[in-house]
């Protein structure tokens, strides 16, 4: 298990990939957050994918005043995150299972969200 933090969001979409072996509540549809993740163990930011439930996403974004707009089945940021929003979102601890890589992008599944 890894502790990760979201430091930027490129887009969010409903996961359409099949054959993924989700460990946390596999029967619940997952959302796919594509963006920049900070891995606590290495303290490095890198592009990544985080799969999580709608409830988990709400826990990450709640109270952060983040503007999302739907465009072509993807939710995009209405405006770039401010430094304050990056800080607030980055403070949310996401305990996640490493799922592997897609090309050179690391993929994780959120198991537990805490602030």
Task: Assign residue 9 the CATH number of its domain.
Answer: 2.40.50
For residue 62, what is the enclosing H or E element? none
Q: What is the pLDDT of residues 23-40, one digit of tens each?
A: 998 899 999 999 999 988
Total domains in the chain come to: 1
**pTM exceeds 0.85 for this model:** yes
Alpha-carbon distance values, 19 to 61, 71, 108, 110 (Å):
28, 26, 15, 17
pLDDT at position 107 over 90:
yes
Domain of residue 35, residue span: 2-16+25-114
């Amino acid at each position: 298990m890894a502790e990760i933090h979201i430091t930027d969001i490129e887009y969010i979409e409903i996961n359409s990939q099949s054959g993924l072996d989700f460990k946390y509540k596999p029967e619940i549809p997952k959302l796919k957050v594509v963006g920049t993740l900070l891995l606590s163990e290495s303290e490095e930011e890198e592009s990544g994918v985080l799969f999580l439930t709608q409830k988990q996403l709400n826990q990450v974004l709640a109270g952060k005043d983040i503007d999302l707009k739907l465009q072509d089945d993807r939710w995009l940021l209405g405006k770039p995150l401010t430094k304050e929003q990056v800080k607030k979102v980055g403070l949310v601890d996401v305990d996640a299972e490493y799922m592997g890589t897609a090309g050179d992008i690391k993929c994780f599944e959120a198991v537990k969200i805490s602030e």
